[in-house]
Chain A
Amino acid sequence: MQADLGIRARIMAPVRAGGSPGSVIAAFSTRKAVRLGILWGYIFGLAIASSEITYSRIYKTAAQRDALAATYGTSKAMSALFGPAPQLQTVSGFTVFKISMALMILGAVWGLLTSTRLLRGEEDSGRWDLLLCGRTTRGGATAQVIAGLGGGLVTLWAITAIIAVLSGHTSNVGISTGSSLYFSVAMVATAAMFLAVGAVTSQLGATRRQAASFGAVFLGVSYGVRLIADAGVGLHGLIWASPLGWVEELQPLTSPQPLALLPIVAFTAMLAVVAVRVAGARDAGASIVADRDHSPAHLGLLYGPSGLAVRLLRATVIGWWIAIGVSAFLYGLIAKSTGATISGSMKQVFSKLGASGTGAAEVFGLCFLIEAILIGFVAAGQVTAARVEESEGTLDNFMVRPVSRSTWLGGRLVVALVVLVLSGIAAGVLGWLGAASQHTGLSFTSLLGAGINLVPPAIVILGIGVLTFGVLPRATSIVVYTVLGWSLLIVIVGGFGTVSHWILDTSVFHHMASAPGLSPNWEANGIMIGIGVAAALVGGLAFMRRDLQGS
């Protein structure tokens, strides 16, 4: 109630101050989106700068650079995972290869989270009803939020570009201002498209979670399609069927092809128009994938907090399982053919990234790093969902009845653990199915083991999340996603050598053996599980002792 009043005051203030009542929502959304744009702009810019500067420091001579190009540049597996690598002898080519795929995916995730939060999230919280009050139409309000999101996007680009230009001008790097600006455009292009995707899925889904999940499935499919296109199996034309493919075709820093901006701009604009149209045509609070207003009672799971959590999170979790399963299946399909292309010197580079073994198993080891990251997101989502129960006050319904805090939290964690283990099993089993269909010769047990091997890092994230939830509940989501984002960044940067092992050790993914190429390191896994459990215990005890806190 107090929060509502605060927002009401903030929203009303500009109106009273003589601002146009029509632009209140735009101002409100712009402020939020710009704040997020600044934060992520720094991350993008720093990733670019660190890549450019490290390369020029490590690979000084032409011979070193040629060797690098010979190993990475010809690998179909690397091309499938990270995109093609045409000019590895140059800082530019290396940077594009090394970080563009990661930034593209991060940008897409940023876009989805930001737009679903400001559209479906705000609408769900009821704040929109407050704002609308006849001042503007629903379509108009959506258009205003989209304008605000545009502001956030420009901020993201501007900060990324400033850092990229500065880094490009440092000695040894030598990338022109124009190239850096164009590269920055390419790096925020997925953010633009997925802001628009999120705007549309916000109209489709009934909750923010559902809207974000729809968008995530679309992202997974886009990545899968471009992975096949780049896998060197004669299907390169497919690249034009994937929004991520269009960004790849921009070919920044190597051989720029600005025409590829056309589909990107057209796609973004089209989705924005669709979102505004659909929003204008539907009722407040309603959604297209309609939740009917009436429904017969389904009491099956409704025995307590854990059963309810299963029921409420079911759709989202199944979405993640589909993304994990489908991508593992795709890796299975390409593992044999790409594994065959790995040359002797390539193996050294692979081992730097943590992978080992021969052929297909090595490819799997690398690909499963991406699965581990996805499962990390699932873990982060589980803790965040628990915190949301508290901040939105639905937890109070249990806490004023005969349910102890430990029962509630324990139950939620058991649900989360089961979800994580099943995610790992899904990756292993579907990866095996894909591999078996190509007669790759990897055993079911080794891939199942590799799948389960993905779970311990997620348990660490879960544990850190519960610790934060207990001690500093309002920071829960920021902390878990920061840990995840940091770990991801370290994996990407660290894969290319010369990062102090102290820094590498801070990444939860660094401690996971790259199975099935290597056999899972059960000792390290045990330590990770121990850390996760200990953190969760401390967090649980702190939770027992504190006040319940709203948002």
Chain B
Amino acid sequence: MSDPDTALRTDGLTKRFGDVVALDHLDLEVARGDVVGYLGPNGAGKTTTIRLLLGLSRPTEGRAEIFGLDCQRQPVETHRRLAFVAGEANLWPSLTGAETLALLGRVHGQVDVAYRDELIERFDLDPTKKVRAYSKGNHQKVILIAALMARPDLLILDEPTSGLDPLMEQAFRHCVHEARDRGQTVFLSSHMMSEVEALCDRVGILRDGKLVEMGTLAEMRHLSALTVEARFDGQVPDLSVVPGVSAVQADGSLVRCQVRGSVKSLVKVLAAARVTELVSREPSLEELFLAQYGEDGHAG
């Protein structure tokens, strides 16, 4: 039985391409109304997950459901409630932007026309132009507008802002905020940490087809280290012996280190020395991400 509060859920979802295990028993759950970031290095299996959710690929094992509907067996019903934006738009070169939007809108069956026109304005798209004459960024705008104008319950986005300039990236973020405020669920795969950090409540990190981390940003920060930078006047104490401290880097009188757990012992050592400057900050998502899959050099 499916939970009415669950937007998306996978059970042991697995996909193999010959010997390559692209996705390995993925168990994922996204609650209704959440904005979830889906991160992972190249080849981690993000696009594979999304193609399985959309019924474009067939799973080797496991299943996935969206709003309680089976993604493989009820694709049409599922697709009525969602919209998808790919990282690369494959449109028909001979249609104009307006024709493309009209076609996709009719196929989807529900369009908020006023919102569509507003989006065209916001993204500064010239809809009378043929797709052939559009730049890469404009292709992306067309499929973004096509997805957003349907006001679907679930937005599945796979690197949706590739090719957009910073101004348009801003417009996109605004749209995602709007969607969240309306209670729409957003599943966003991205390589742009700042984007995920700005938009998402929860983050999942995928690596080699396995989900290695899933939680809110605050939870993930709590689990990971705090970065501390201190400048000393005179003698620099040896911080590497302090319990909980790691990754000590000294650069003259400036020392940078990471602390896990309680900061008590570190503060004691620092107080005994002559500290002139002290900065401590939580790790950025980028640092969390790098810590997650960069520890043995490189993933994949």
When C-beta atoms are compared, the residue in chain A nearest to B92 turns out to be A394
When C-beta atoms are compared, the residue in chain A nearest to B156 turns out to be A400
Measured between alpha carbons, how far is A240 from B84 in the docked complex, in Å? 58
- Contact partners of A297 in chain B: CB under 8 A: 96, 98-99, 102, 127-128
Measured between alpha carbons, how far is A294 from B104 in the docked complex, in Å? 19
Of the candidates A124, A285, A295, A304, the one having the most CB atoms from chain B within 10 angstroms of its own CB is A295
Measured between alpha carbons, how far is A293 from B86 in the docked complex, in Å? 25
Kindly state whether residue A505 has any CB partner on chain B within 8 Å.
no
When C-beta atoms are compared, the residue in chain A nearest to B96 turns out to be A295
Of the candidates B54, B88, B99, the one having the most CB atoms from chain A within 10 angstroms of its own CB is B99
Kindly state whether residue B109 has any CB partner on chain A within 8 Å.
yes
Of the candidates B51, B80, B90, B126, the one having the most CB atoms from chain A within 10 angstroms of its own CB is B90
Interface pair B94/A206, CB less than 8 Å apart: yes
Chain A nearest CB: distance from B13 CB in Å? 14
Kindly state whether residue B281 has any CB partner on chain A within 8 Å.
no
User: What bracket does the count of chain B residues touching chain A fall in?
Assistant: 35 or more
Measured between alpha carbons, how far is A402 from B111 in the docked complex, in Å? 13
Kindly state whether residue B244 has any CB partner on chain A within 8 Å.
no
Given known contacts A299-B99, A547-B57, A396 and B90 CB-to-CB distance under 8 angstroms: yes
Kindly state whether residue B76 has any CB partner on chain A within 8 Å.
yes
When C-beta atoms are compared, the residue in chain B nearest to A407 turns out to be B76
When C-beta atoms are compared, the residue in chain B nearest to A296 turns out to be B128
Kindly state whether residue A501 has any CB partner on chain B within 8 Å.
no
Q: Mark B142-171, 1 if CB is under 8 A from A, else 0.
A: 000000000000000000000000000000
Interface pair B92/A299, CB less than 8 Å apart: no
- CB < 8 Å: which of A292, A294, A299 contacts B102? A299
Kindly state whether residue B268 has any CB partner on chain A within 8 Å.
no
- CB < 8 Å: which of B56, B79, B130 contacts A291? B130
Kindly state whether residue B174 has any CB partner on chain A within 8 Å.
no
Given known contacts A302-B103, A402-B79, A402-B107, A293 and B93 CB-to-CB distance under 8 angstroms: no
Kindly state whether residue B108 has any CB partner on chain A within 8 Å.
yes
Kindly state whether residue B193 has any CB partner on chain A within 8 Å.
no
- CB < 8 Å: which of A124, A298, A304, A393 contacts B106? A304
Given known contacts A302-B99, A401-B79, A402-B79, A394 and B90 CB-to-CB distance under 8 angstroms: yes
Kindly state whether residue A303 has any CB partner on chain B within 8 Å.
yes
Interface pair B76/A285, CB less than 8 Å apart: no
Measured between alpha carbons, how far is A1 from B90 in the docked complex, in Å? 11
Interface pair B90/A398, CB less than 8 Å apart: no
Number of interface residues of A (CB under 8 A): 36
- CB < 8 Å: which of A294, A296, A402 contacts B80? A402
A397-423 with Cβ < 8 A to chain B:
397-404
Kindly state whether residue A92 has any CB partner on chain B within 8 Å.
no
Measured between alpha carbons, how far is A293 from B84 in the docked complex, in Å? 27
Kindly state whether residue B129 has any CB partner on chain A within 8 Å.
yes
Kindly state whether residue B137 has any CB partner on chain A within 8 Å.
no
Measured between alpha carbons, how far is A312 from B56 in the docked complex, in Å? 24
Interface pair B56/A308, CB less than 8 Å apart: no
- CB < 8 Å: which of B57, B80, B91 contacts A397? B91
Kindly state whether residue A289 has any CB partner on chain B within 8 Å.
no
Kindly state whether residue A282 has any CB partner on chain B within 8 Å.
no
When C-beta atoms are compared, the residue in chain B nearest to A549 turns out to be B57
Kindly state whether residue A514 has any CB partner on chain B within 8 Å.
no
- Contact partners of B132 in chain A: CB under 8 A: 206, 285, 291, 293
- CB < 8 Å: which of B56, B80, B94, B98 contacts A399? B56
Kindly state whether residue A546 has any CB partner on chain B within 8 Å.
yes
Measured between alpha carbons, how far is A308 from B131 in the docked complex, in Å? 15
Measured between alpha carbons, how far is A319 from B56 in the docked complex, in Å? 34
When C-beta atoms are compared, the residue in chain B nearest to A303 turns out to be B106
Interface pair B90/A392, CB less than 8 Å apart: yes
Interface pair A400/B54, CB less than 8 Å apart: yes
A359-399 with Cβ < 8 A to chain B:
392-394, 396-399
Interface pair A298/B79, CB less than 8 Å apart: no
- Contact partners of A308 in chain B: CB under 8 A: 92, 103
When C-beta atoms are compared, the residue in chain A nearest to B162 turns out to be A1
Measured between alpha carbons, how far is A308 from B104 in the docked complex, in Å? 11
Q: Mark A345-357, 1 if CB is under 8 A from B, else 0.
A: 0000000000000
When C-beta atoms are compared, the residue in chain A nearest to B52 turns out to be A547
- CB < 8 Å: which of B58, B79, B108, B126 contacts A545? B58
- Contact partners of B204 in chain A: CB under 8 A: none
A105-139 with Cβ < 8 A to chain B:
124
Measured between alpha carbons, how far is A304 from B126 in the docked complex, in Å? 23
Chain B nearest CB: distance from A136 CB in Å? 23
Kindly state whether residue B283 has any CB partner on chain A within 8 Å.
no
A294-353 with Cβ < 8 A to chain B:
294-299, 302-305, 308, 312
Interface pair B128/A295, CB less than 8 Å apart: yes
Given known contacts A296-B128, A302-B99, A401 and B92 CB-to-CB distance under 8 angstroms: no
Given known contacts A401-B79, A401-B104, A402-B108, A547 and B58 CB-to-CB distance under 8 angstroms: yes
Measured between alpha carbons, how far is A207 from B88 in the docked complex, in Å? 21
Interface pair B107/A304, CB less than 8 Å apart: yes
- Contact partners of A394 in chain B: CB under 8 A: 90-92
Given known contacts A402-B108, A403-B76, A403-B107, A298 and B129 CB-to-CB distance under 8 angstroms: no
Measured between alpha carbons, how far is A207 from B95 in the docked complex, in Å? 13
Q: Mark A203-242, 1 if CB is under 8 A from B, else 0.
A: 0001100000000000000000000000000000000000
Measured between alpha carbons, how far is A401 from B90 in the docked complex, in Å? 14
Kindly state whether residue B218 has any CB partner on chain A within 8 Å.
no
- Contact partners of B55 in chain A: CB under 8 A: 399
- Contact partners of B90 in chain A: CB under 8 A: 392-394, 396-397
Of the candidates A206, A392, A394, A401, the one having the most CB atoms from chain B within 10 angstroms of its own CB is A401
Interface pair B76/A293, CB less than 8 Å apart: no
Kindly state whether residue B113 has any CB partner on chain A within 8 Å.
no
Of the candidates A124, A207, A302, A394, the one having the most CB atoms from chain B within 10 angstroms of its own CB is A302
Measured between alpha carbons, how far is A393 from B139 in the docked complex, in Å? 14
- Contact partners of A402 in chain B: CB under 8 A: 76-77, 79-80, 107-109
The 3 closest A-B pairs by CB, nearest first: A393-B90, A293-B133, A302-B103
Known: A392-B90, A394-B90, A402-B79. 13 other contacts (CB 8 A): A295-B96, A297-B96, A302-B102, A305-B107, A312-B94, A393-B88, A396-B56, A398-B107, A399-B75, A400-B56, A401-B104, A403-B107, A546-B58
